[in-house]
Structures are given as C-alpha cells and as structure tokens.
Structure 1
C-alpha cells in the first residue's frame, strides 16, 4: 500500500469495533444496577472490562464483586441507547450532569428483565442470548484516573440453545453474534470471511493458498 495514501487524523473516539455489553451489579440496598459498556476483552476464563470510575457500576463492583456480563443481539440496540444517558448515582456526579439523569430502576427504563443468577448476586439480563456470571478479582485504576481496568473471572455461562452448535457445547458464530460498537455506531457482524484451525465450530481447517 502506498504510504502517501494515509493522512493524520484526530478521531474523537478510538472504538474500532468491540462487542457492546450490559453489566449488572448490585446496589447497597440489594437492588440491581445495569449499565452499557464496550471496553472488553477475554483470555481464557478471565475478562478485562473498562469501566468509568464515576458511575454506579464502579462503586458497586468495588464493594460487591459479583457481576454479570450480558451480550445483546442487534434487536436490543435501543435498550443500549435508553441506558446511555442514565446513571444510578444520586446525586449525579458533576461531570455527568449535562448529559445524564438519575434513574433508580434501569432495567425498567431500558425495557429489560432482571433474571436471577445461579452463583452471583447480580442478576442476568433475560433478553440477552449470552450471559456470563462473573466475580471481580482485581480492579486497577487507569493512568488518568477516569476508568478502572476490571479483571473478572467467569464462573458460569448461560446461552440460548438456539445459538449453540450441534454438540451443544459451543456458541456457533455463524448463527449468532453480539452487537459490535464502532465509532459510536452499532453494527451486527458482517459475513464470515475465514477462521482459525483451532476453531471448534469450523467445518474444516482453513484453506490458505
């Protein structure tokens, strides 16, 4: 590729494309809190989540480490938008007052249903077809102090049987995919273009010529 084809840009966000998710935590009074997020990666059974420090989610998980991480399908994008201007913090932090308002029942406000978990105190999101029960093992402040790098161990995975492969053990990525958040837009993943030889659901090893 000709390097002269590139120009220097200053995008306001660097979300090239990560899955959007809904993280549920437990408030001090036992009620649930729900928030959308999109900074996410996983290695083995460990998740690393980027969570803003001034929200109720961060306050909750530092005190009560049980969480659930729920992955919405494309039809639930409106719930993410409804939640995007709500906070469970009362009073609303100064930095959020221009955009956010306090909402004590964010499940109701988003049109979603809390569902009991098996191993953690935080509820799952019934409408999400893939749900992780997890427990926070470490939360590390980010360099600028505005976010936490949250490491959470997945204790149990719940999946809609309709998104599993014939073995019933693996999520079939050709059947279902989460919402992908890229540059403040929501997408459903496009057509498959290839796979790794290590894929447990691929029909055969990749053919590379």
Structure 2
C-alpha cells in the first residue's frame, strides 16, 4: 500500500552550524616533550574493534601532543561529570592562545586542578589517565591526515587513527570478566552542544552477548 501524500512528514533543508547529533564525550589526556600534561574534551570519536578515529582541531594542544609523543589516554566520563568538563571547556593548553580561540578561550597549564580531576598512572602508555573516568582507553598513534584546510593550506581539522593497547574499566561496571554492563554504564552524550545522559533502554542488538 502506497502512503498518501499527507502521511509523509514535512522536512526542512537547513544548514546547522554543527553536526553533533548525539556523540559521546571523551577526555583525552596527553603530554608534550616537557612532560606537561593536558586534558582535551572532545566529542568527535568513533570506534571499530580496537581502533579509534578522533576528530581534532590542528591548533589544539591535544593534537600537537599526540603527533609529537604518539600516545594518549581516551578517558570516557560518566554523565555526572559534565560540570567538571564544562569547567575546562574554554581552556587551552596552548600559550599564546591561538587567534581563532582568542576572546573565548584562556590558557591554563593545569587542567587537572581546573576541572577537579585526579590523575592516575596508565599501565602501558606514558600520559596519565583520569581517575574519575570509569573507562580508560590507552592508545598509540597509527596514522593521521588533514581533512580540512584554509585556502592558504593551513591545516584546520585532522582525523587521527589511534590503536587501543590497553583497556581499564572500573570494577563496578565489569560483568563476566571481559564485558561492560550496559545497565550500569551511563556515558555523557553531546547532543548539539548540550549534555545528556542515556534514556531508558529500548532493546538490544542480536549480536549482544550480555
């Protein structure tokens, strides 16, 4: 049966400023050649197997540290940490502040203190993890490429491929030894620049093991 024309919903063609249509928030911890730590909040991240693809601004301290040191920890915060994250959202580890961030961001050397985060040593990589983040993915750089540049060929945005070499999860979230309990894990979701937690469970995929 063909739907009647009046049954088809109305769509509008728009040009939104961002396409953060519900993506997880991550806090990337990294270090520079002087062993200074940095925390970079991001929301452009996806995983396939033990591979992570991260979208980063090329003028960010996080991007520069990863390219230089080739390691990081991708810390996944629970939804209740949004206020800590927002405390560092307008801070940058670059001094001087990049021109495109001037007026909106300010330099901060110690984002751990600024966000009231506690560092903890990673097991495999050199950068520290964040103790309050229930899931910690220790990563090494595999590849990266520029996805957007200015007309003068100045890099703006990069896609960074990281390999996860170690996974640590808070014991309260672990079931059956190697599984994360989805009923207890509540990731922080970035939904068009607003923070959300997960809603009610509506079902599970046929491939789910637990």
Equivalent position to 1:77, from 71, 76, 82:
82
Q: Give the RMSD, CA atoms, in angstroms.
A: 1.2
Q: CA-to-partner distance for each residue in 1:139-181, whole Å, 9 max, x for gaps?
A: 111133311101000001000111122x121001111121010
Instruction: Please list every run of 5 or more consecutive structure 2 residues that lacks an aligned counterpart in the other structure.
Output: 150-154
Q: Show the counterpart of 1:122.
A: 127
Q: Is 2:186 the partner of 1:177?
A: yes
Q: Is 2:196 the partner of 1:187?
A: yes
Q: What is the distance in 2 between the residues matched to 1:11 and 1:31? A: 36
8 Å contact kept, 1:161–1:168: no
Could you state the TM-score of these two structures normalised by the residue count of structure 1? Answer: 0.92
Could you state the TM-score of these two structures normalised by the residue count of structure 2? Answer: 0.92
Instruction: Please list every run of 5 or more consecutive structure 1 residues that lacks an aligned counterpart in the other structure.
Output: 202-209
Q: Is 2:169 the partner of 1:164?
A: no
Q: CA-to-partner distance for each residue in 1:34-80, whole Å, 9 max, x for gaps?
A: 11000010101100000111111111111101100001111110121
Equivalent position to 1:151, from 157, 161, 184:
161
Q: CA-to-partner distance for each residue in 1:88-134, whole Å, 9 max, x for gaps?
A: 00111111111010000011101001111111011100000011001
Q: What is the distance in 2 between the residues matched to 1:27 and 1:67? A: 11
Q: Is 2:60 the partner of 1:51?
A: no
Q: What is the distance in 1 between the residues matched to 2:108 and 2:8? A: 49
Q: What is the distance in 2 between the residues matched to 1:177 and 1:200? A: 19
Q: Show the counterpart of 1:40.
A: 45
Total equivalences in the alignment: 200
